[in-house]
Homo-oligomer: A and B are copies of this chain.
Amino acid sequence: MAAYDDLMAHQRETEALSQVAGRLGWDQETMMPREAAPQRGAEMAAMETVLHARRTDPRMADWLAEAETSGPVEVAQLRHIRRSYERASKVPAKLASQIARVTSEAQGKWAEAREADDFAAFAPVLKDVVSLKREEGAALSAGGDVYDAMLDDYEAGATAAELSAMFDALRPRLVALRAAVLDAPAPAALQGKFDEGAQMKLSRQIAKTFGYDMAKGRVDKAVHPFSSGSGLDVRITTRTSETDPFNCIYSTIHEVGHACYEQNIDPDYLLTPLGQGVSMGVHESQSRIYENQIGRGRAFTGWLYGQMRDAFGDFGIADEDAFYATVNRVENGYIRTEADEVQYNLHVLLRFDLERALIARDIEVDDLEAAWNERFEADFGFAVDKASNGVLQDVHWSVGLFGYFPTYSLGNVYAGCLNDAMRDKMPDLDATLARGDTSHATRWLRENVQTHGGLYAPRDVIEQACGAAPSEGPLLSYLEEKFNGIYGL
């Protein structure tokens, strides 16, 4: 076992350094003084150099060749380490540093272009990003499908063909559901103002209700909600809006879903490749099932209604049923991150199809805005009014995250499957949720998904938990039943 032990000792240090780099990212979004950015850039680049050198350390090839394993945990550790080593070794250091430099610049240009609603100002640097990412994808795919190689970074083993099959089945029924819902009379919207301190207090309480361990994490405010870290230090951020307490509450529940996944992984895997969520898709399945199938369900919102009245007094919603409808109100909108459950995946599918076409050279950057606007109108029935509400709304492409978007919808599909399986096992689950007790639901997710960390392949985690191969069916049935009910269709 000498080679295996040496390899794992090296890897544990790499994982620890990766946690440090992640925490620097957290600090940048929450605590960093505003004029510290140039120094921070140098610090992040230095951490990246160190991590890259460790991931491509020539000794790793020998250790990997010589390591003997004696069980499924060791086999899985080696699988992850080999994958990471091969991935890092395929990309020339010069290309990796070019991508780092260009995407860092592109992020700034994107922010300026979005501010100015001017896609043409962003297009030149986006072309550079796409060109470099195509080059990287070609190096990674070694003759295979370039987009699949990119996707593999976020969702090991997934292919665009498999996702397309699911998403093509989702799209028409979501378009139809959306049209029907928006034709029906809408539930009341929330009115008035809600103290932001009270929102944070309630959100922290809800985070604990979902089992988030505050002794191994913390909640801060940031411009964009996120979860950061693995193991014993998993932090989340949320945000507040005086007129929209749901933004704070459901951002918190969403990030708590991500954070609980990290916190609930088998502690034996701490600071190893198994000690973190296995893929972006499985991660998103946890954040979405916490947020939606549990958090926006009739049972839990009944409890939440009482909590909100305790926190804010009477806010003009008459009863639990009306509150449930208000929480799940569907509205026209341009922005993915603000979308409701019915429309969210339509936003993602649009991006998936466009970025695949872009990487396959079926379209080019200069076609992107027109293609976006055409597809948006086809699915949503109205035109994009400006680039910041359209092709410029998301940061992802500027930082080179091609292959990331589809994991959002894959996570929603997985959440649908898990929700079905969980409720099959626990037919009375809603009785517990109705009194604000999420422990039965979160325990089932912990035992069937979260505790495994990276032990199984992403798709296998879901298949084992559900007893069936994942498909889009459960998500569609759930959405149609829920929204037909709320909207009386």
Contacts and interface: CB of A to CB of B under 8 A. Distances in A.
Contacts of A16: 39, 42-43, 45-46
Nearest to A271: B42
Interface stretch (A26-34, A169-177, A359-367, A406-414): A26-34
B33 A233 contact: yes
Interface in A1-60: 12-14, 16-17, 19-20, 23-24, 27, 31-40, 42-43, 45-47, 49-50
A38 B43 CA distance: 24
Given A13-B49, A19-B43, A46-B13, A36 B216 contact: yes
A374 to B, nearest CB: 41
- Per DSSP, chain A at the interface is helix
A12 B43 CA distance: 9
Nearest to A19: B43
A16 B97 CA distance: 14
A356 B321 CA distance: 74
A214 B47 contact: no
Contacts of A33: 214-218, 232-233, 235
A295 interface: no
Contact of A215 (B17, B24, B34, B45): B34
Nearest to A54: B50
A39 B233 contact: yes
Contacts of A27: 23, 27
A64 interface: no
Contacts of A31: 31, 218
Interface string A92-115: 000000000000000000000000
A100 to B, nearest CB: 12
A317 interface: no
A137 interface: no
Interface in A247-296: 270-271
A231 interface: yes
A12 B42 contact: yes
A49 to B, nearest CB: 6
Given A27-B27, A39-B233, A39-B270, A46 B20 contact: yes
Contacts of A233: 32-33, 36, 39-40
A215 B13 CA distance: 33
Q: Interface residues of A toward B: which range? A: 35 or more
Contacts of A38: 232
Contacts of A14: 46
Contact of A35 (B20, B32, B36, B215): B215
Contacts of A235: 33
A50 B232 CA distance: 22
Contacts of A217: 33
A373 to B, nearest CB: 37
A55 to B, nearest CB: 13
A434 B43 CA distance: 41
Contacts of A39: 16, 19, 231-233, 270-271
Contact of A50 (B17, B37, B45, B214): B17
Nearest to A37: B232
- Output the residue of A14, A42, A270 with the most chain B CB within 10 A: A42
A17 B369 CA distance: 39
A23 B36 CA distance: 13
A298 to B, nearest CB: 34
A44 to B, nearest CB: 9
Contacts of A13: 42, 45-46, 49
Interface string A210-243: 0001111110000000000001110100000000
- Output the residue of A12, A33, A35, A214 with the most chain B CB within 10 A: A33
8 contacts: A13-B49, A14-B46, A33-B214, A35-B215, A36-B232, A36-B233, A39-B233, A40-B232
Given A31-B31, A33-B235, A50-B50, 9 more contacts: A13-B42, A13-B45, A14-B46, A16-B42, A20-B20, A20-B24, A31-B218, A32-B233, A33-B218
The list of the 8 closest CB pairs from A to B, nearest first, reads A16-B46, A36-B233, A39-B232, A35-B215, A13-B46, A36-B232, A16-B43, A16-B42
